[in-house]
Amino acid sequence: MGPEQPLPLPEEFSDADAYVDSLLHFGTSSELLRTLCGGVHILDFFTREPALYPLVIPEPWRIWFKYQDIMDILDLFMRRDLSRYAQRGGEGEERREEEEQGNVNVSVAEVDGGPAPPESLIQFIRDIRKHSLRREFHPPPKQKGAKSTKLARHVALGMKVKKIHEVENFARYVDQLTADIEAEKGRTVTHVADFGSGQNYLGRALASPPYNKHIIAIEGRPHNIVGAKEMDVLAGLAPKKKKLVNKKEYREKTDWRAKKKAAAARDAVDETRKWSTAAPETKATLQTSVQGQGSIQYVEYRMEDGNLAPVSEQTVSSTTKATDPNLIVISIHSCGNLSHHGIRSLTLNPTVKAIAMVGCCYNLVTERLGPPSYKLPTLRPNHPRLETTANAFDPHGFPMSNRMATYPVPSTNDTGVRLNITARMMAVQAPQNWGPDDSAAFFTRHFYRALLQRIFFDRGIVGQPKGADDVVGGRRNEYFGGVSPAGCSSGSAPIVIGSLKKSCYHSFTAYVRGATSKILSTPETAEQGEGWNAFFADRMAGLTDREIEDYAARFGEERKKELSVVWALMAFSAGVVEAMIVVDRWLWLREQEEVDKAWVEAVFDYGLSPRNLVVVGIKK
């Protein structure tokens, strides 16, 4: 049961423990990695002096990047065979240090007709690849007589291609996992508890043939449960709600002739005439006691930890055939700490025998350890959101495992692995899926947003953050509420623009006008304070199209290219951040005495669903 290796190890490793040792050391000691993942923010790109690009990127890298197309750079990061780049001149670390100090010519060797990348860049790429988990998905070969995993049309209602791929493959995976548990452990999994079931696409598939599982759909949003139940009816998993209607009354309401006659009759009768009332609605319930049929039970419950006692009280009743229920807790893309709650449910509940959780939205994971006592490499100001999340001290947050929580950070006197919200946010990127068209589109969006931040900066809407002495850049902070170049309009409220109409991305002028209009049409928040919209409108007043065009011309394609390079490096490097989050969850399972087996493997095609790693735990 489970893969040969408990982790999808990079090819450089054959032992999980050796990989974890190397991952923790690299993830906490590489200054460039920690700078790219959590130490910089794109909104600071044009507002910081001196400029961000030369501070972050070594000069030899900048020289090489300048003459490369961004898609070729992405190809080098993620796909190109690095063995073709032999070390030149000095060897290893000595050579890289010389390059970073600018003491080595970087264009002496050529590969494929062009200058070869600096050795220090190649080594950094090797290090990132070496510590990123493998994501290849290998579905099991189809066997004669095996269950068909293809969803029936009525079950796939409302699903897009991505969701169909996820549900088909994960339903098959859960079915095989429960069969393996029964074969190896001698116990039957009686119920499947889906954390954060949403519209219950996965549960509906598992409750339908050929799986016929008994599903407990746990969802905190009541409107999702209502929608899921309606789709159960359309899928044929629940009877249609019946409503008894008085035919005479119905005809009077729908037939215009009857309405005309009824209107005349009403004039002659007492207005207090009582109408027949419709029969009460019958609830659609799915029994768990029918052999050979699946079922779905909905539980409205917001998970705050892994304790399922309130859920069990609502679902395990005297009518349930299983007198000793055995649950497996599952989830496709459980956001933030919900993955942690699902994993912890394995040890907190006697009825839970296994878990299989696919996480996502790492930016919503909270922080357990608090801010470090040492100084992180950062070019960002003390953004209020960074301070708030770092001081959460949430026992349900990252890291889960004692191994990471007590890991001695190299060259410091501190312990514990920390990932701030910026690092975790970058970990949800999928740079391997970036193509030419979509890359050009979102690089343009990032460029426009960062350049708009410069306009905000120049017009006094945002400014440099306050220091400890309440002085900004040698002078008192004269901006509204004490602002930050990382997007804060006050002490803690970022300027959030979000998505705009496609027409707003046709030019920078269109973007500025669209963004300004959206900001002014959005109600002020309590964090911004009363009068902020008026302040914003006053500062943006008089901005002409010519001035906006001058900004685009002044910063131009060269600065856009630099921003794109930094963003690509950040997204590529964040593969290590995701590996640390996933490995932490696996380490926690290994640390629990009750857990027999734990592993991580890919369950989706990365090209369709990049958050494709499932964390599995089996109880003894």
Neighbours of 108 (CB within 10 A): 10
pLDDT tens, position by position, 66-75: 999 999 999 9
18 lies in a domain?
no
* Mean of the per-residue pLDDT values of the chain: 82
Angle at 609 between CA 166 and CA 219, to 5 degrees: 55
Instruction: With 0.85 as the threshold, say if the pTM is over it.
Output: no
185 lies in a domain?
yes
CATH number of the CATH domain containing 593: 3.40.50.150
CA distance 518 to 578: 33
**Rounded mean pLDDT of 483-495?**
47
Q: Are residues 599 and 548 in the same domain?
A: no
pLDDT above 70 (res 423): yes
CA distance 396 to 297: 27
Q: Are residues 559 and 589 in the same domain?
A: no
The residue range of the domain holding 444 is 431-564
**Rounded mean pLDDT of 60-64?**
96
How would residue 265 be classed by pLDDT, with cut points 50, 70 and 90? Answer: low
How would residue 343 be classed by pLDDT, with cut points 50, 70 and 90? Answer: very high
Residue 280 three-state SS: coil
pLDDT score of 614: 98
Distance of CA 183 to the CA centre of its chain: 35
Q: Are residues 545 and 482 in the same domain?
A: yes
Q: Are residues 588 and 548 in the same domain?
A: no
Residue 215 three-state SS: strand
Q: Are residues 611 and 471 in the same domain?
A: no
Contact yes or no for 365/341 (Cβ under 8 A): no
Q: Which tokens is 302 given? A: 């917001």
CA distance 462 to 472: 12
pLDDT score of 139: 87
79 lies in a domain?
no
438 lies in a domain?
yes
pLDDT score of 532: 85
**Rounded mean pLDDT of 530-539?**
90
CA distance 234 to 213: 19
117 lies in a domain?
no
pLDDT tens, position by position, 564-599: 999 999 999 999 999 999 999 999 999 999 999 999
pLDDT tens, position by position, 164-210: 999 999 999 999 999 999 999 888 999 999 998 889 999 999 999 99
419 lies in a domain?
no
Higher pLDDT, 454 or 108: 454
CA distance 34 to 45: 17
Burial class (CB in 10 A: 0-12, 13-18, 19+), 541: exposed
Q: Are residues 550 and 588 in the same domain?
A: no
Q: Are residues 329 and 469 in the same domain?
A: no
Q: Are residues 435 and 336 in the same domain?
A: no
pLDDT score of 49: 79
592 lies in a domain?
yes
Q: Are residues 533 and 609 in the same domain?
A: no
**Rounded mean pLDDT of 596-616?**
97
How would residue 13 be classed by pLDDT, with cut points 50, 70 and 90? Answer: very high
Q: Are residues 543 and 599 in the same domain?
A: no
The amino acid occupying position 26 is F
Q: Are residues 462 and 499 in the same domain?
A: yes
- The total number of structural domains in the chain stands at 2
404 lies in a domain?
no
Compute the chain's Rg from CA coordinates: 29
Q: Are residues 178 and 325 in the same domain?
A: yes
